[in-house]
Amino acid sequence: MKYYRKKGQVSYGEAIGIILLDSEAPFIPGDVANATTYEFPVRFQRVEGLTVQKMMDHDKSSMEKIMEAAELLQKEGVRAITSDCGFMALYQTELRERLHIPVFSSSLLQIPFITQIIPYGKKIGVITANGKSLDESVIKLCGVEDTSNLVIEGLEDEPNFSSAFLIEEGVLDTEKVEKEVVDRVLKLQKENPDIGAILLECSVLPVYAEAVQRASGLPVFDFVTMIRYVFSAVVRESNGGFM
């Protein structure tokens, strides 16, 4: 077999490119921004000045920096590009227009898929970093025309989650954050017994997905379920079984 260089590319074997916010929170295994979360190599690209607060404010002033980061990842050979913030849906349209590889900027892109696979009439419970910021203007950028089947619960008022990921004080108590997340899910489920699945919007929340499923008994979708799914589509392997 012969291999040929790709002009301008200096490393190989990273199929998924991940655009990172300019954030310095502790990103532990299971988090989108921790490379050991994945069973395959990923490539990160940080966007200077793209803060959590800008995302919560729907501030699109970092547009050109984001495009440059995405184009650099594309140049370095990734086969698809995602991010570490569900609010990056704000840039989904522009990224798709600019690049020639798949872009799945937000975990919220899974909403239409989840809607079609859960029992008819069931709702999706969305746990988000900030329920006040996650409005229809963001959700509809993910191909969601009807938001009536969504029930949204924010974590912005939870002290441990907020201090670690919104205020970014530099300390993460995983046990306390897990309790906050699970308590919010159970509250949402109690108020909406017709929920058929949970979607964790924020990229730090896959860490707690197993605890959420154990407590709720529901299918749980998050950023990592989406990344693994796309990876399986852009990197196909030959079948290794036998007859």
CATH number of the domain bearing residue 162: 3.40.50.1860
Asked if residue 7 is part of any domain, the answer here is no
Q: Inform me whether the pLDDT recorded for 34 exceeds 90.
A: yes
80/111 same-domain check? no
Q: Inform me whether the pLDDT recorded for 46 exceeds 90.
A: yes
Q: How large a percentage of the chain has pLDDT more than 70?
A: 100
Residue 181 falls in which region: left (phi positive, over 0), alpha (psi -120 to 50) or beta: alpha
Task: Give the strand pairing for 16-20 and 42-46.
Answer: parallel
Gap between the Cα atoms of 232 and 228, Å rounded: 6
85 in catalytic set:
yes
133/194 same-domain check? yes
Catalytic residue among 202, 209, 220, 230: 202
64/38 same-domain check? yes
Q: Inform me whether the pLDDT recorded for 5 exceeds 90.
A: no
pLDDT of residue 10: 81
Q: Are 203 and 85 in contact (CB under 8 A)?
A: yes
Asked if residue 43 is part of any domain, the answer here is yes
pLDDT of residue 211: 98
Domain that holds residue 202: 107-222
Gap between the Cα atoms of 175 and 183, Å rounded: 12
133/86 same-domain check? no
pLDDT of residue 6: 83
Q: What pTM was estimated for this model as a whole?
A: 0.94
189/143 same-domain check? yes
Catalytic residue among 42, 85, 129, 172: 85
Give the number of domains in the chain. Answer: 2
90/154 same-domain check? no
Residues in the chain: 243
pLDDT of residue 151: 98
pLDDT tens digits for 102-124? Answer: 999 999 999 999 999 999 999 99
pLDDT tens digits for 165-179? Answer: 999 999 999 999 999
Overall average pLDDT of the 31-58 stretch: 97
Average pLDDT, the chain: 96
95/128 same-domain check? no
136/102 same-domain check? no
197/112 same-domain check? yes
Gap between the Cα atoms of 196 and 218, Å rounded: 7
Which amino acid, one-letter code, is at 209?
Answer: A
Gap between the Cα atoms of 41 and 12, Å rounded: 10
Ordered strands of the 42-46 beta sheet: 42-46, 16-20, 80-83
pLDDT tens digits for 121-177? Answer: 999 999 999 999 999 999 999 999 999 999 999 999 999 999 999 999 999 999 999
Q: How large a percentage of the chain has pLDDT more than 90?
A: 92
